[in-house]
Amino acid sequence: MFHRSERLLLRPIWPEDWQGVLGGIADEGVVRNLARAPWPYGEAEAREFASRPFDPCEPTFLVTRAADGAVIGCTGFGPLEGSDTSRTGPVELGYWIARPFWGQGFATEAGRAVLAIARVLGVREIHGSHFLDNPASGAVLRKLGFEPTGQVVKRHSCARGHEVEAAEYRLLLNGAAGGETQRAA
């Protein structure tokens, strides 16, 4: 599964992409904003991540610049943490962008692409969250149409080694490939 946006190409991650993944994520400033990535993040972690099988129902994409193939980050969605892992439940959006590409709109552009894929796959509800000390991620979620649920929860950060307060967001999708959304109730 591939998706082309204005500046980006989202594609499956292949085992030979491990160096590109490592080059973008082996930065404590990136990893500390993720729930599941450990710190330090080294070659073994990058190789394991890049070797995971691609699941078209719960996709994870390598985000590359379409013009030259530069690795910008990763994005995708999977079961909402703490929820039923069945394919019919709500899913959670995840993403990271390598530091050299921060502040250029790539997270929002990649997020829009993933939401388009989610709609095609029939996802009706998608969640997102950000650690409170990472307000830039909250801005991305709001640009994508997510609304705050009003809930702040403690989520474990592997990189930090402890729980961190996170603001939760939700977006209801109408399932149409045209990109319409429904505001969360």
Low-confidence ranges of the chain (pLDDT < 50): 176-180, 183-185
The pLDDT of residue 86:
56
- What is the structure's pLDDT at 90? 83
The tokens describing 177, both together, are 């490939």
- Cβ 102 vs Cβ 136: under 8 Å: yes
State the pLDDT at residue 82. Answer: 66
Question: Which domains are seen in the chain, by residue range?
Answer: 3-182 (3.40.630.30)
- CA atoms of 32 and 28, how far apart (whole Å): 6
